[in-house]
Structure 1
Amino acid sequence: MSDENSGHEPVGKPRADAAVDEEGRFVVRVRLPLPASARPRLLLQLRPKKGQSEEIGRVVALEPAGGDEWRAVLETAPALAEGRWDAYVLGAPGQERTPLLPGLRDLRALVSSGGDSRATPLAVRIPYATKDGRLAVRTWLRASHAEAGRIVFTGRSMTVRARLFGPRLGEGAAALLHRRGRGAAVRQVALRAEGDQDFSFTVDYQDLLAEHGQPGAGAGAGAAADAGAGAGAEIWDVYVRPEAGASRIRVARLLDDVADRKAVFVYPAAALGGMTVRPYYTVDNDLSVRVAPPPPAT
């Protein structure tokens, strides 16, 4: 691969190439015009939730890699907590941290492997460029996971193919749709097992419309913000129950190179019963379905 910014970067604006190798290790190469005696370090800092203070991040040594390049390897264990981690370079102790700019990102190993369905917990790291042009890492850490695959649409339904990570499918397995909000409804959908870990299910949109407008329904403020929903919209979150009595597992799409699927994957909407139904991925790449009145005519 070539990089149009292959020349030396100013010291104040280091650029980093990032990759995930076949063993799942996170590898960063930073271009820094520093003497070999320098001791720069890579800092990954977890972005705190609103109202919370920043906790101590993960620091890894940057080793000389020839020329002006330095290399850091973040091993698979211990796993990073789920969230968004901003990448910085540290110089001498006490020096201010410097944000890293994104260079090349090589995630071919992650995309081709598809993950090990026996591995628990499932740990995923995807480097990406933030809206303000900095390097960050989106991470997921889940004890169990249902990875959404291909979704096929008709005018009245969607069929989802998926793979289970962690537990095995057993007697009483089913797909579940949970409506957000107080007095939330649950719709159970038959699950078709296609091996120990692979399965599919079909959601009839009419089943969701039958619950629309019932007392206690509604997406709530958080769901409306997540889906871009307006008044009267409802959000149904998609889960799988691997066997009777087991805890539900969120259906999501994590095992590829897309850190934020919500704006990238826009699925078709169906018009039924005076409402529109559209599946979508949330800000956490979880699969949900939005039921709402059609937008006003312009």
Structure 2
Amino acid sequence: MSPQRDTRLRAACAIDTDGRITFRLPAPPGAHPQLLLRLRPKKGRPETTRHVLDLEPERADGHRHAVLEPHPVLDEGRWDVYLLPEPGAERRRLRPGPRDLRTLVDGHLRDRPSPVTVRIPYATKDGFLALRAWRRTAHAEARTIDVTDRAVTVTARLHGAELHEDTTVRLRLRGTDTVRSLRPRIDDDGRGFSFTAGPGELTDGGGGAARIWDVFVRPTAEAPPIRVGRLLDDVADRKHVYVYPAIEADGTTLRPYYTVDNDLAIEVT
């Protein structure tokens, strides 16, 4: 059954430094209203993961609130937010009210333990409330991307793991087994690092076709590669917000960009 879409239903939300999200909305109909969080399934797949939160009454003005605690950790993906007027009732999609995301703005300044978890409330393209969630064993947060006329320099910081003397940055050509390895410059604290890539590192004889190189860091020779991206702030969808200029050198054009998952990649033509 399709959920009702009542444009009057709006939920405000605020998130604290621990990732705890408080939802608040005017008293809805029903004796025991709840919030339903649904992990959006991939196209053609059934729904499999949901969380239900009780909406508790507030004495002051008749509003109700629900709290999503940091645990259990949400699976990585997009979570749509619905109102259940009472358990088992037909769900109703919620629109966003005010969103207080101030604690997320400087989230990249705090070191995160493993697993690295992120939750960002946001408005969908069609104007409804949703959460963007990431859950990774470790994460390399891109901080600055400096584009010159000859190369791209990326500064990043590792969360949930530590760098070692044999750390490498790995540029993997998407859809192939081709990998380019670079030696990064490592900060004294063993967490921050930077690297520079230019046409010499990102050519593979592929002719004029566009190629995409995904960016990873490997803390040690035996460790699995860790994706480099930018997750630790208040931007849920970065691809069309952070746009970088292209480099044209030696007959090659390079352009760094963020993917739909907010991971860092470099496009080469």
Question: Same fold, TM exceeding 0.5?
Answer: yes
Question: Structure 1 residue 193 and structure 2 residue 179: aligned?
Answer: no
* 1:221-244: CA deviation from partner (whole Å, max 9, x where unpaired): xxxxxxxxxx81100000001122
The residue matched to 1:88 in structure 2 has which SS? strand
Q: Distance in 1 between matches of 2:222 and 2:99?
A: 42
Q: Which residue in the other structure is 1:251 paired with?
A: 228
RMSD: 1.9
Question: Structure 1 residue 74 and structure 2 residue 92: aligned?
Answer: no
* 1:112-158: CA deviation from partner (whole Å, max 9, x where unpaired): 34365351101100011111110000000001110110111111111
Structure 1: runs of 5 or more not aligned: 1-9, 215-230, 293-298
Match of 1:43 among 30, 36, 43: 36
Q: Which residue in the other structure is 1:239 paired with?
A: 216
Q: Which residue in the other structure is 2:196 paired with?
A: 202
Q: Which residue in the other structure is 1:225 paired with?
A: none
CA contact (8 A) 1:14 1:100 kept: yes
Moved more, 112-121 or 129-138: 112-121
Q: Please give the TM-score of this superposition, normalised by the length of structure 2.
A: 0.92
Question: Structure 1 residue 110 and structure 2 residue 104: aligned?
Answer: yes
The residue matched to 2:220 in structure 1 has which SS? coil
* Letter paired with 2:147: F
Question: Structure 1 residue 272 and structure 2 residue 265: aligned?
Answer: no
Question: Structure 1 residue 124 and structure 2 residue 101: aligned?
Answer: no
Structure 2: runs of 5 or more not aligned: none
Match of 1:145 among 131, 139, 142: 139
Q: Please give the TM-score of this superposition, normalised by the length of structure 1.
A: 0.83
Question: Structure 1 residue 213 and structure 2 residue 190: aligned?
Answer: no
Shift of 1:18: 1.6
What is the percentage of aligned positions where both structures have the same residue?
51
Q: Which residue in the other structure is 1:26 paired with?
A: 21
Q: 1:11 to 1:291 in 2, by over 3 A?
A: closer
Q: Distance in 2 between matches of 1:107 and 1:176?
A: 33
Q: Distance in 1 between matches of 2:167 and 2:49?
A: 41
* Letter paired with 2:98: L
Which one scores higher on RCO, CA 8 angstroms, separation ≥ 6? 2
Q: 1:212 to 1:63 in 2, by over 3 A?
A: farther
Q: Distance in 2 between matches of 1:151 and 1:255?
A: 16
CA contact (8 A) 1:117 1:197 kept: no
* 1:57-99: CA deviation from partner (whole Å, max 9, x where unpaired): 1001111233242111110011000000000010123321010
CA contact (8 A) 1:11 1:33 kept: no
